[in-house]
């Protein structure tokens, strides 16, 4: 490849999931459907929590924020993808690419931290039931949320600033349907050692540490559940964790799957297709997981719909 070092580039080319022209309309309608389901599903969870006073608890406070984060996470990539398919354009401006990367990382990291906090919430509720409301008091919940936002914003900002120091080659094609950090770094002509180091370090800290926290919380939860004498009591206690555990499994399972697929193949297009699982499918399924497996959310949604029907 000819170096063609450029510091003042104006745009990148997103190659998308497929270059087959006949597949583009099908991809448009599939992703439009998934985006609408994701947005409406998470919006309903948010409205149910706002309107039902019984859900004004720490657990649902963080679920509210997770649903909001999922809506934003999906909105950073899919609308631009749909626009490009509809206009038959693969271009994203340099500034647009930086902004997309920033918000994609921000809400992805926020999701990971919120899931960890929700695991701690279940740990406090099950292992320390008498002190639960003292531990998870409003001030502490606000502190946890503020910390999760600060960490997400600062990490995303640091990655964004480090991208700005890079100069890029004349080959500006990104083998993805959005500006994925690693793919963009690979296009740089200048030295990317610090960027690569930061990517691996941040991935280790902001993925492994939260995941370890979740495993620790659930090890304590399982230990407490096993001490319950009755089978019914064990089932009832564990059922309060099912929704969260399903979401964690989906989030980390799909993320790990994408990582392993990218490590085992040099085909960036295959990695882009695999990444659809955690960028679109996981946020889309979360509202179904919480509405189908959680009786409180299910009841709140019924109340919300009956209220709307009555008002009409």
Report domain extents, the chain. Answer: 11-296
Q: Residue 175 contacts by C-beta under 8 Å, 6 or more apart in sequence?
A: 15, 183, 268, 269, 271, 272
For residue 257, name the pLDDT band (cuts at 50, 70, 90).
Answer: confident
- Tell whether the model's pLDDT for residue 310 goes beyond 60: no
The radius of gyration computed from the CA coordinates of the chain, to the nearest angstrom, equals 21
Q: Across the beta sheet with 91-93, what order do the strands follow?
A: 91-93, 11-14, 173-174
pLDDT in tens, 3-31: 444 556 789 999 888 888 888 999 999 99
Please, what's the b/e burial string for 101-137 (b: 16 or more CB within 10 A of its CB; e: otherwise)? bbbbbbbbbbbbbbbbbbbbbbbbbbbeeeebeebbe
pLDDT in tens, 259-286: 766 656 666 677 777 788 888 999 999 9
pLDDT in tens, 186-225: 899 888 999 999 988 988 888 889 999 999 999 999 999 9
What does the angle CA 122 – CA 286 – CA 41 come to, to the nearest 5 degrees?
A: 125
The model's pTM is 0.91
Q: What is the DSSP string of 50-78?
A: HH-GGG-SHHHHHHHHHHHHHHHHHHTTH
- Given 2.60.40.10, 1.50.10.10, 3.40.50.150, 1.20.1070.10, which CATH number is that of 11-296? 1.20.1070.10
pLDDT in tens, 69-95: 999 999 999 999 999 999 999 999 999
- Tell whether the model's pLDDT for residue 239 goes beyond 90: no
- Measuring CA to CA, which residue among 207, 310, 307 is closest to residue 258? 207
**Which tokens hold the place of 211?**
């995941």
User: Residue 94 and residue 4: Cα distance in Å, rounded?
Assistant: 17
Averaged pLDDT for residues 248-260: 81
Give the pLDDT confidence score for residue 298 in this predicted structure.
87
């Amino acid at each position: 490849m000819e170096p063609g070092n450029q510091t003042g580039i104006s745009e990148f080319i997103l190659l998308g999931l497929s270059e087959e022209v006949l597949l583009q309309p099908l991809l448009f309608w599939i992703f439009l459907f998934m985006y609408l389901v994701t947005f409406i599903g998470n919006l309903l969870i948010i409205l149910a929590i706002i309107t039902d006073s019984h859900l004004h608890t720490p657990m649902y406070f963080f679920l509210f924020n997770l649903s909001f984060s999922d809506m934003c996470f999906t909105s950073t990539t899919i609308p631009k993808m749909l626009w490009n398919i509809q206009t038959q354009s693969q271009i994203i401006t340099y500034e647009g690419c930086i902004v997309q990367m920033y918000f994609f990382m921000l809400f992805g990291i926020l999701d990971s931290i919120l899931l960890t906090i929700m695991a701690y919430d279940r740990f406090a509720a099950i292992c320390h039931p008498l002190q639960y409301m003292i531990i998870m008091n409003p001030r502490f919940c606000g502190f946890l949320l503020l910390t999760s936002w600060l960490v997400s914003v600062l990490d995303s900002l640091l990655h964004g600033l480090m991208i700005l120091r890079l100069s890029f080659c004349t080959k500006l094609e990104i083998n993805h349907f959005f500006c994925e950090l690693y793919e963009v770094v690979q296009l740089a002509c200048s030295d990317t050692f610090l960027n690569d180091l930061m990517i691996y370090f941040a991935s280790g800290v902001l993925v492994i540490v939260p995941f370890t926290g979740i495993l620790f919380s659930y090890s304590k939860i399982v230990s407490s559940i096993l001490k319950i004498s009755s089978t019914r009591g064990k089932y009832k206690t564990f059922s309060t964790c099912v929704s969260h555990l399903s979401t964690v499994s989906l989030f980390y399972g799909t993320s790990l799957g994408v990582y392993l697929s990218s490590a085992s193949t040099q085909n960036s297009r295959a990695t882009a297709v695999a990444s659809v699982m955690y960028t679109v499918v996981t946020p889309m399924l979360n509202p179904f997981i919480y509405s189908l497996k959680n009786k409180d959310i299910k009841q709140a949604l019924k109340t919300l719909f009956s209220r709307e029907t009555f008002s009409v």
